[in-house]
Amino acid sequence: DGGITQSPKYLFRKEGQNVTLSCEQNLNHDAMYWYRQDPGQGLRLIYYSQIVNDFQKGDIAEGYSVSREKKESFPLTVTSAQKNPTAFYLCASSIENRNTEAFFGQGTRLTVV
């Protein structure tokens, strides 16, 4: 289903806990991205990675961390430092160094309880 998989689909977290969202792709794409989607605010870029072992902060990186140890995987950790973590998180991938289509995962809805 699309070649890029996010898990879990729904995630509940207690305040003060870190949580990691999974993103895996089998499209052989070099570039991967994490976006946060809030109502009325579109998609905002959290982090992106163009190549293994390298990643860059996006527009709203505070309170988040990522790793890119494998080409296929780009997990996102939402830390306790993120003030308002409840949101819909979307992972995407694309061919690096080209203006081409970004393929999105199904998303993870994170709720802090």
Partner 1 sequence: GENVEQHPSTLSVQEGDSAVIKCTYSDSASNYFPWYKQELGKRPQLIIDIRSNVGEKKDQRIAVTLNKTAKHFSLHITETQPEDSAVYFCAASPLMIKAAGNKLTFGGGTRVLVKP
- Is residue 89 involved in binding partner 1 (CB under 8 A)? no
Interface residue with partner 1 among 11, 75, 79, 104 (CB under 8 A) is: 104
Asked whether the beta carbons of 27 and 71 are under 8 A apart, the reply is no
User: Which one, 43 or 86, has the nearer CB to partner 1?
Assistant: 43
Q: CA–CA separation, 84 vs 103, rounded Å?
A: 26
Q: Find out whether 94 and 31 touch, Cβ atoms under 8 Å.
A: yes
- Please pick, from the candidates 27, 60, 61, 102, the single residue that binds partner 1 as defined by CB under 8 A: 102
Residues 36, 91: Cα–Cα separation, whole Å: 9
The residue ranges that bind partner 1 (CB under 8 A) are: 2, 31, 33, 35, 40-45, 48, 50, 56, 58-59, 90, 94-102, 104-107
